[in-house]
């Protein structure tokens, strides 16, 4: 690309690099979660939520299990202020939930923020000012010391306002644009704020280290977090919090590596809603932990319903490939993938293993409210026999013989390719019925009767070209006798009957379904199926269907 020389790495590695976090294999416990959907998420909406929508969204977050919820920037607008007062005055905040509010380090904004919090049972008051080199030079045109003074003055005012305001408050500080700040300067300003607040193990302070704009690969952010975590003052009285955005598409990786590096808390949103490319997606983070056998302490057992409410209230759309929540994330169209999934599911039924392990499915879709039918295997021109058979088995209870699966698979693939569309289960079933079930042309089955009990002599009544005929045959079994009657009287030849049957329940009554394959003189197997309340009659219909398919393709 042109003009690549105009870009340079704008981030800063720690002055002393440590990679202790890289020795850890996985996250072994859930962090403290703080939803910022009602602040970062809401301010990024084309049409921000109104009061009623915010209240409904807040309740959804509570139901999911969030214990810390940022409810807004109450000094920014009357809507934000009213929302917070509604929550407090109507006693809508559960006792085990802490609300959080945001304020810049500016005198009148801080005072207005504490005014909005009067009577709050538990609230985190989040102070921030921007510290990055670019912001200092271009926006504020201030020295490092002047930026520190802004933070320290705000921290002092926090103490004054908290003492004058009814409520129970915890303090939080963010060096906004942390990822563009010299790491030793970020440490200096955070420690200056901590010196003002004097946290204790019983009265902890949150230091939030936001990737306000992603500027580096995730391992750099992790190294920055580790340096801060190891060098902050009052460390046993400080909660290190992460607030990753997603400008480089690695918000989840930043958060995961940041937790390994010492992060104890994560601020994010459902499905990653937020400005630009969004905040870190807490759904993905939590379910990634879940897939490793770690309880995320959030409840996504009915993710489709959460997604439905989210899309209605935010007017945003979750993409089809969004991890876990997207419509297609558990869906396989590829034939080889479908075959592996179907066999994996069957293996689980047979073995009942203690842990989940199915090819291409990192977690059990049922655990988050997704259905196997219509979710996991969907059929288009790329699909294979295994997927087609799986859909018919799940939806209609059909257990097709292996060879018949291939024959049906080609027909379904051909239809999908010609129509250039995905085929629903009902359409696949219709193809199966039209192609294989009770096929009555060119030889139409009418009835049969058996004579004697030992030699299996039979008379089969058929209709060909409008003419009814009675065909006699003998065999070593009833189906063999009928098969011989067709071959002897009609001059057709086939061999190697492959037979399978099982009970089938479709609609209101139980029926039997039979599958038969016959091999023609060229070694090609032709398949047919019969459905009837009587198992013998279903077998005869299957035989006629197979013979008719052979004749139609001769």
DSSP of 116-158: HTTTEEEEEEEEEEE--HHIIIIII---HHHHHHHHHHHHHHH
Per-position b or e across 18-52, b if 16+ CB within 10 A of its CB: eeebeeeeebeebbbbbbbbbbbbbebbeebbeee
pLDDT tens, position by position, 22-66: 999 999 999 999 999 999 999 999 999 999 999 999 999 999 999
Q: How many whole angstroms separate alpha carbon 540 and alpha carbon 446? A: 10
User: Tokens 């288009």 belong to which residue?
Assistant: 380
The residue ranges of every structural domain in the chain are 31-314, 335-430, 443-552
For residue 213, give the 3-state DSSP assignment: coil
What tokens appear for 212 in the block?
């306000």
The predicted structure's pLDDT at residue 416: 84
Most confident of 10-14, 193-197, 349-353, 547-551: 193-197
More confident residue, 548 or 382: 548
Q: What is the 3-state secondary structure (H, E, C) of 306-334?
A: HHHHHHHHHCCCCCCCCCCCCCCCCCECC
Q: How far apart are CA 317 and CA 310, in angstroms?
A: 9
CA angle 469, 539, 393 (to 5 degrees): 140
Tell which wins on pLDDT, 299 or 554.
299
* The CATH fold of domain 443-552: Double Stranded RNA Binding Domain (3.30.160)
Determine which helix (DSSP H) or strand (DSSP E) holds 460, and give its type and residue range: strand 457-464
Residue 510 confidence class, pLDDT cut points 50, 70, 90:
confident
- Asked if pLDDT for residue 439 goes beyond 60, the answer is yes
Residue 342: its pLDDT value, please? 82
Which residues have C-beta within 8 Å of that of residue 285, sequence separation ≥ 6? 252, 255, 256, 266, 268, 296
- Residues 475-496 have pLDDT tens digits of 888 899 999 999 999 989 998 8
Distance CA(76)–CA(546), nearest Å, equals: 75
- Indicate the DSSP class of residue 269: B
pLDDT, the chain, mean:
92
DSSP 367: G
What pLDDT sits at residue 423?
83
- Using DSSP, how many helices (H) and how many strands (E) does the chain show? 17, 14
CATH topology of domain 31-314: TIM Barrel (3.20.20)
Least confident of 139-148, 255-264, 438-447, 506-515: 506-515
Q: Sign of torsion, CA 192 81 275 7?
A: negative
Structure token pair of residue 287: 């379910």
Q: What angle do CA 23, 28, 29 make, to 5 degrees?
A: 135
What pLDDT score does 509 carry? 63
Evaluate if residue 508 carries a pLDDT over 50.
Answer: no
Report the pLDDT value the prediction gives residue 18, as an integer from 0 to 100: 82
Rg (CA), the chain: 34
Closest CA to 228 of 21, 29, 395: 21
User: What span, in angstroms and rounded, lies between the C-alpha atoms of 451 and 453?
Assistant: 7
pLDDT tens profile 343-380: 898 899 999 999 999 998 999 999 999 986 556 766 76
Q: What is the pLDDT of residue 413?
A: 85
Task: With CA atoms as reference, report the closest residue to 261 among 23, 12, 32, 30.
Answer: 23
């Amino acid at each position: 690309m042109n003009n690549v020389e105009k870009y340079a790495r704008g981030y800063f590695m720690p002055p002393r690099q440590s990679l202790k976090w890289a020795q850890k294999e996985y996250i072994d416990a859930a962090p403290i979660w703080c939803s910022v959907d009602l602040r970062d998420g809401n301010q990024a909406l084309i049409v921000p939520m109104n009061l009623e929508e915010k209240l409904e969204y807040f309740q959804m977050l509570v139901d999911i299990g969030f214990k810390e919820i940022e409810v807004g920037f109450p000094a920014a607008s009357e809507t934000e202020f009213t929302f917070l007062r509604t929550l407090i005055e109507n006693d809508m905040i559960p006792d085990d939930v802490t609300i959080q509010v945001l304020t810049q380090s500016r005198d009148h904004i801080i005072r207005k923020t504490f005014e909005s919090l009067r009577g709050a049972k538990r609230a985190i008051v989040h102070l921030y000012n921007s510290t990055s080199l670019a912001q200092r030079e271009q926006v504020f045109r201030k020295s490092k010391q002047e930026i520190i003074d802004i933070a320290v003055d705000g921290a002092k005012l926090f103490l004054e306002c908290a003492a004058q305001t009814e409520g129970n408050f915890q303090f939080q500080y963010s060096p906004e644009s942390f990822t563009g700040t010299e790491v030793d300067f970020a440490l200096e300003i955070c420690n200056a704020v901590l010196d003002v607040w004097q946290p204790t193990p019983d009265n902890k302070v949150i230091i939030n280290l936001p990737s306000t704009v992603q500027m580096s690969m995730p391992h750099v952010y992790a190294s920055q977090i580790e340096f801060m975590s190891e060098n902050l003052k009052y460390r046993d009285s400080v909660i290190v919090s992460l607030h990753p955005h997603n400008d480089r598409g690695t918000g989840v990786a930043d958060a995961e590596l940041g937790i390994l590096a010492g992060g104890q808390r994560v601020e994010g949103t459902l499905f990653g809603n937020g400005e630009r490319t969004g905040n870190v997606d807490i759904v993905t983070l939590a379910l990634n932990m879940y897939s490793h056998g770690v309880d995320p302490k959030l409840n996504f057992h009915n993710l489709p319903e959460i997604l439905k409410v989210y899309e209605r209230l935010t007017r945003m759309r979750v993409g089809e490939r969004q991890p876990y929540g997207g419509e297609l994330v558990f869906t396989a169209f590829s034939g080889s993938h479908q075959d592996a999934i179907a066999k994996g599911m069957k293996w689980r039924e047979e073995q009942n293993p203690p842990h989940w392990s199915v090819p291409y499915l990192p977690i059990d879709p049922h655990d988050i409210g997704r259905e196997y039918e219509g979710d996991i295997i969907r059929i288009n021109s790329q699909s294979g026999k295994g997927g087609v058979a799986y859909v018919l088995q799940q939806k209609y209870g059909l257990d097709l013989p292996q060879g018949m699966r291939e024959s049906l698979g080609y027909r379904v693939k051909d239809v999908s390719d010609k129509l250039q569309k995905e085929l629903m289960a009902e359409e696949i079933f219709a193809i199966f019925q039209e192609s294989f079930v009770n096929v009555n042309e060119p030889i139409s089955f009418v009835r049969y009767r058996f004579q004697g009990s030992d030699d299996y002599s039979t008379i089969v009544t058929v209709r060909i070209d409008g003419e009814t005929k009675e065909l006699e045959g003998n065999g070593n079994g009833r189906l063999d006798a009928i098969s011989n009657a067709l071959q002897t009287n009609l001059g057709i030849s086939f061999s190697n009957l492959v037979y399978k049957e099982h009970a089938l329940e479709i609609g209101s009554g139980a029926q039997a379904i039979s599958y038969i394959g016959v091999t023609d003189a060229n070694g090609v197997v032709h398949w047919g199926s019969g459905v009837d309340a009587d198992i013998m009659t279903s077998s005869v219909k299957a035989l006629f269907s197979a013979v008719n398919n052979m004749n139609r393709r001769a």
